[in-house]
A and B are shown apart, each in its own frame.
Chain A
Amino acid sequence: SSLFVYDHKITLKTCGTTTTLLCLQLLFDTINTELGWDVCKRIESTGKYFPYKVFYSRRCFMFPLKQRSIHKNWSNEVDYLNTFFSCGRSYLVGRNDESNHWNLYVTETNKSMVQKAKSEDPDETLEILMTGLDHERAKQFIRKRGLCEQQTAEKSEEDEGHMLGFNITKSTKLDLVYENNIKAAFHHDAFAFTPCGYSANMMLDEEYYYTLHVTPEKGWSYASFESNVPVAKISQGKQDNVQVLNHVLQVFQPNDFCVTFFTKDDLKESYSRYMQIGEQVPGYSRRDRIIYDLEDYQLLYMRFERSL
């Protein structure tokens, strides 16, 4: 799991049986107390909060009944979100009768909060959710502890979980997903879990991130990749998101995966390239392609399966 905190926004991505939404009240109360932000006070007339924008999404769970509290059921999550936020809408994306659809909740943009003119904001988010990882590929994310104790001792500030996470990042080349042609600063933090599993946060050019989470267990193997890195800027136009997708797929070689791509501007070249992606993923067949016009964002959802 990962949390990214910027000056004005947060992104919280949590795995397992976490109870993500149950932190909302304390989150808003803490910000109100610590920072005195009016946006973290409930509006008197509605009794709800109305921040600039809220997104909540997840792929459908593999074991929904093992989830806790409101997270057992999408409609309960939406009901809970609606007790906090004004003008929320929910979407079930993909086939209702399939066990691999994707759910999204998004609030209306609070445009009254925009005070100052913005510079060009390349806001885009790419998420790749993969299941049925190739067995040999999945094994890369299983590391036994105790094998690098001496190495760890030599680096007294570090512990074995982070050391093994670093080694996995290097051996899988997950630090090389983007062509960093502008020589932007690169920061990395990864951890190898016991008995297995891997999480990593990678930061590029101080303001962008990509994050990976892997549960390699046979039978329910899963990996996710999420990124807000503007690929054209970082690569100086030498790479696009289709190449990023293919790089990630090479590492995991899943049986199936879904891709979501959010962007503020549907005219962007990267969005146009993604619209044509079906023929450019070797070894996979596209099963669904769904486009949503979400007020000021465009959402593209696609699902692929390995070709027979």
Chain B
Amino acid sequence: TVTEKELTNHTYIDHELSANLDSAEAFEGPEKLLEIWFYADAQDIPEPRGTKKTLRDIEVAKWVEILKLVKCEVLSVRSTAVMDAFLLSE
């Protein structure tokens, strides 16, 4: 079950967006779901520059740029040992 400490453990949070976001035009329910497996497993990731870098090494600012093309903004990010979960606008 969720506890209140979950309210203060964000990896990233955009307070300004959170305060000003208006979703009045978000009329459509059904989502678009895109899943891309670049590799079958994290073990398969190569080391083209001598050290292993993964998708999680891409900084949040880059994801923000990519998501602009989707028309989504990043409200907050929670990270675990193996994944980063972004909560987005819309």
The finding on whether chains A and B are genuine partners in a shared complex, rather than unrelated, reads yes
Residue positions of A touching B, CB distance < 8 A: 1-23, 26-27, 30-31, 34-40, 51-63, 66-68, 71, 113-116, 118, 121, 127, 129, 131, 155, 157-163, 166, 169-170, 175-176, 185-191, 193-197, 199-203, 206-207, 209, 213, 215, 217, 220-224, 226
* Number of A-B residue pairs having CB atoms within 8 Å of each other in the complex: 318
A131 to B30, CA, bound (A): 9
| Binding site secondary structure of chain A | mixed
Encode contact with A along B59-73: 1 for CB under 8 Å, 0 otherwise. 000110111011110
CB-contact partner of B49 in A7, A36, A170, A189, under 8 A? A36
A128 to chain B, nearest CB (A): 12
B16-59, CB < 8 A from A = 18-19, 21-46, 48-49, 53-58
Complex CA gap A16/B89 in Å reads 10
Given contact pairs A14-B88, A21-B32, enumerate 15 new A-B contacts (beta carbons under 8 Å): A6-B56, A7-B82, A8-B37, A30-B62, A36-B49, A38-B48, A56-B35, A67-B28, A113-B40, A115-B44, A157-B13, A188-B2, A189-B6, A206-B80, A207-B80
Tell me if A194 and B23 are in contact (CB < 8 A): yes
Q: Which positions in B face A, CB cutoff 8 Å? A: 1-2, 4, 6-10, 13, 15, 18-19, 21-46, 48-49, 53-58, 62-63, 65-67, 69-72, 75-78, 80-90
Pick from B13, B65, B88: contact of A1, CB under 8 Å: B88
- A-B contacts, 12 listed (Cβ < 8 Å): A10-B55, A12-B70, A16-B26, A26-B65, A37-B38, A39-B38, A39-B39, A54-B36, A121-B41, A166-B6, A209-B83, A224-B30
